[in-house]
Structure 1
């Protein structure tokens, strides 16, 4: 019979072994990445990760250890043995599900499971649609395997709790249980050092995947959730605030003291039709150096409009792209301002700026606006009307997300027949989002995820071309500025790392009947960001942009053009010299082009410090 007073150590060992097995499952699921690691990395992943695994184990053990100590004071028949099993079973299911979800989250998003999915709990259908491209049969099998293995490990390592030995008093038993409980403080903190363990303690490699693999999923989720309160000191404090502010101001110094007088428009009060394309990576757009024949309609529009072919997304999620485009506001590295209605209410917004001069507005989306808390942001922006999934007949909700793109564009065309001018209409597509369902025949061969994504982008472009063909014949077209831009890029094609600059490059085209003839066909290859579109548009409309402090007119060259972007948990800084990417957790450079200087890194750090500091104060 197992010793009663070995129960608590055995219980601790059970969870620790389970987490080590889960780490092995992660490495096997991402075998191609694991196989490419430098020699010795796998052993170091388990070795460095063991501290976080032990910390997570300690947190999960606190309640059972406390119950064990209290239960030792009770007669044997009242000992809560079933409660231990129930607690462990529930937590086992939760941890196993989180482990399996994390496997595909990392494949799709490039970071381990954290508190980010909590933003989507109020939109379960959209969450399910996002998982549409996941290998559900394989993941279900892994989940079943983990649950079965967990049950077997519990029986072998823990087993039933033996009764108190004869002549062993309850007070002594309680004391022994309390001592074990007190000892949990060591693994909880990750050791006896002054500062408790954090993510950076398990980061050991220059290869981000190796560091990510060492993390513990439940610990990472809890830590991320606790950090989202945005109280306390700025976590991205790299230098004195005065020095950081000075560096950021210098970034926005124009190349010339004279304002740019380039006029792209024939009028200062055109209609503005703002089309945001889901996941339209520049890697699929020929006019921005991407693959040919995937977006022929957008490429044709670029040839007859104004193409900005060196633009970078501010973040890597739709909600971050919306804020960057419509408010000219930068993304945050480990959260999103759109989660905080109190903060978003203080942001500037193109809708409000245009409303002041008589524009009427309408926002169109084929899915649910509540997804990722987008609706609170858009309502605060002051749109006059919204059209979303519930406003389309069931027969037209032909995608897991809602209405496909050609259905969305048809509704926009129908409504614009009676839309008062001048109008500010925003249409956000969805068909090029996972699970990449399209209602037309595939143009490109293949059934892998890249081929599905390529075909979905082709379909979205087809829907855009179909829309434009009819729109050009409408009476409102001649007085309309069309803005076509992506909400963010994508790791595909090429499975670029989460921090890759290729992932963030997106198209931006200005077109429509309101463009001056001399402006058509112009290509602007100056580096810029999504955040710069707001000021660029407002200046063309001869409207003030002072409130958009993070936005710069793309037609007025900066002394040093740049684009700053965020990923979890780090940033990239792009200039004509090249790109530097930085990981905030271990506080070190991930990659740096040869011509990039230390000053450029400091500029990126200053930008992150100042922008996040402002975000915290809102």
Structure 2
């Protein structure tokens, strides 16, 4: 064999393999530099701790990208056929795969900035609203640097790819005997196979190998965004145990005796029924961490009006969102089911093929007028299809407002949303009809900034603080207006964050991402000061808890529980590829890659105590596993609503 580079197309493959490695290495250093403040032990220590491992993940991606061309080339080369006629095909393939690689590497930067994890299939959650997402990306200046970087990179890549291919065309091919060709084929093929295993001999590199450090940032740093994305395409397994065993355990916890349904129980309250109006305000990105009442010093007093309202409400200081996306918050708060791992709850086939009772459907059956107010286009998150089919009579979106009410690409400012909702509540009350109104705020959505069409002027300095202060002002103004209405004292107000924000990378699953603000205010049932309630509470508990306040009989087909009558030992939540279970003092985390963690919440060392308290970890895991497995079972068997629906 005269040379490994005897074929110009083999030489081309090697060049592109090296290019894939170089591009990924460049973004490794760029990611480290951008997030250098997260490297708590210093940038140099982070580099030396993770660089070697990052090469294995990069090698995996570069090798897989090379395989299609290797197969195509090897068949033609061994057979002695020219590949020149396929030049344009090769050019197109390399340009497309490198463009997609660049998209993942660039998109990973803002994705990590918000979610504190490398990019995953969670970006697919918005595929159902492509026009809305394109509009949002192109209208938000925060994304312009990334768009420019992609366009520039794509242009340079195209020029580079064409240059490399022309260079190989100009080089003279060398004729090699068939036997030597087979040796070259096997050598390059074995090298690619070794690379496809991440440079490992005995087994392929796995995602969980990155989760070795106690520092969440170091666990993310070595992973190639492309590896993270493709690895996330596999489903999060929810078949944890035998269905019959899981059902029996869930029924024992909930007190359900229905042989054909794990959750179903007919609730018969002991008190007299009430027909209070219900107003639920779903607050965008409202982490409990922004409350100066509970966390003085962490942030300025940017939600002091909400804190003041909370001081005379049932204020749940240990409340958790079902997931980390607004669609999870809407679905779980209204319909009482937890977030299924890596799944859009309102855009699946099984969601579209059944009716969910939940709070809207149950109240509608009791004669309530049900309305959903959102700032954006109702087509986003499939609300326009799912919401009317599941208990809401009307959905009021951006198209119902005049142009001057629009604040940005997300649609209507919070103050206009609240004003329109108040007017609708007045109309319902005037007819003597009880109403259930959901108001979904938007102004604290990323990138958090106050709207330009408001007369309110915040005294805070940063756009982030001003956005939260603005929403706080809108909520306070809404309550001031509502307090002047005759229906105020006969209304139950619920304020809940749809999800939080990962302000602090404290654990592999940042708690502030799911630890949300939750309060229930009932002016007609007393207006005294109340201490925060510290028991674990989930968004799925809102449906049965509100029905308990109303003292109305109903059928509960969800795993949610009335927090005042059925306190739960743990809350569980999803962060897409991670499942977390939290109690008053412990936190259990597991991810789809097999890594498990157990922490004591007041332990500043953040030591993983899994081995020391394995039985506790298993107990916490089983609590969540059973509920999620049975939720999956209920959804698959189309049993989420009333019997026969």
CA contact (8 A) 1:276 1:487 kept: yes
2:327 corresponds to 1:319: yes
1:279 partnered with 2:279: no
Counterparts of 1:128 and 1:210 in 2: how far apart (Å)? Answer: 34
In structure 2, relative to structure 1, the CA distance for the partners of 1:336 and 1:308 (3 Å cut) is same
5+ long unaligned stretches in structure 1 = none
- Matched with 2:435 is 423
Question: Is 1:474 aligned with 2:485?
Answer: yes
The equivalent of 2:458 in structure 1 is 443
Determine if the alignment matches structure 1 residue 340 to structure 2 residue 333.
no
Structure 1 residues 97, 292: closer, same or farther in 2, change over 3 A? closer
C-alpha displacement at 1:405, in angstroms?
0.3
Alpha-carbon shift at residue 517 of structure 1 (Å): 2.9
User: Which residue pairs with 1:366 in the alignment?
Assistant: 375
Residue 93 of structure 1: aligned partner: 99
Counterparts of 1:261 and 1:415 in 2: how far apart (Å)?
A: 30
2: CA distance between counterparts of 1:32 and 1:134?
Answer: 24
Which residue of structure 2 lines up, in the alignment, with residue 403 of structure 1?
Answer: 412
Q: CA deviation at 1:99?
A: 0.8
Provide, for residues 229-273 of structure 1, a one-character-per-residue CA deviation record: whole Å limited to 9, x for no partner: x7xxx3573x6667766665676589xxxx99897xx96111211
Structure 1 counterpart of 2:575, from 567, 580, 593: 567
Question: 1:509 aligns to what?
Answer: 519
- For these two proteins, the number of residue pairs brought into alignment is 599
Q: Name the stretch that deviates more: 141-150 or 62-71.
A: 141-150
- Give TM-score scaled by structure 2 length: 0.81
Q: Distance in 1 between matches of 2:270 and 2:289?
A: 29
How far 1:556 sits from its partner (Å)? Answer: 1.6
C-alpha displacement of 1:378: 1.7
Cα distance in structure 2, aligned partners of 1:587 and 1:569 = 11
1:113 positional shift: 1.0
Residue segments in structure 2 that go unaligned for 5+ positions in a row = 257-266, 604-608, 637-645
Which residue of structure 1 aligns with residue 262 of structure 2? none
Q: Which of 552, 568, 582 in structure 2 is aligned with 1:543?
A: 552
Per-residue CA distance 1:180-220 (angstroms, 9 max, x = gap): 45764443344676765432244433323222222222232
Aligned CA distance change for structure 1 residues 155 and 190 (closer, same or farther; 3 Å): same
**Contact 2:140-2:409 within 8 A present in 1 as well:** no
Note the 1:249-288 alignment, pairs <5 A: 268-288=274-294
CA deviation profile, 1:263-314 (whole Å, cap 9, x unmatched): 7xx9611121111111112122244445563223322322333333332222
Which residue of structure 2 aligns with residue 555 of structure 1? 564
Distance change >3 Å, CA 455–CA 518, structure 1 → 2: closer
Q: Does the CA-based 8 Å contact 1:432-1:456 persist in structure 2?
A: yes
Aligned counterpart in structure 1 of residue 86 of structure 2, from 80, 90, 100 = 80
Q: Closer, same or farther in 2 for the Cα pair 1:500/1:246, shift >3 Å?
A: farther
Q: Is 1:37–1:210's contact at 8 Å kept on the other side of the alignment?
A: no
- The whole-number CA distance in structure 1 between the counterparts of 2:188 and 2:148 is 36
Report the alpha carbon displacement of residue 106 of structure 1 after superposing the two structures with TM: 0.4
TM-fit CA distance, 1:398? 1.7
Partner of 1:294: 302
For residues 12-27 of structure 1, the aligned pairs below 5 Å read 12-27=17-32
Work out whether residues 273 and 483 of structure 1, in 8 Å CA contact, stay in contact via their aligned partners in 2: yes
TM-score, structure 1 normalization: 0.84
Question: In 2, are the aligned partners of 1:320 and 1:336 still within 8 Å (CA)?
Answer: yes
Aligned to 1:460: 471
Deviation digits for residues 20-79 of structure 1, max 9, x if unmatched? 222222222211223636975524423223333222223222222233335546865843
> Structure 1 residues 576 and 34, CA, compared in 2 at 3 Å: closer, same or farther?
closer
The answer to whether the 8 Å contact 1:432/1:460 transfers is: yes
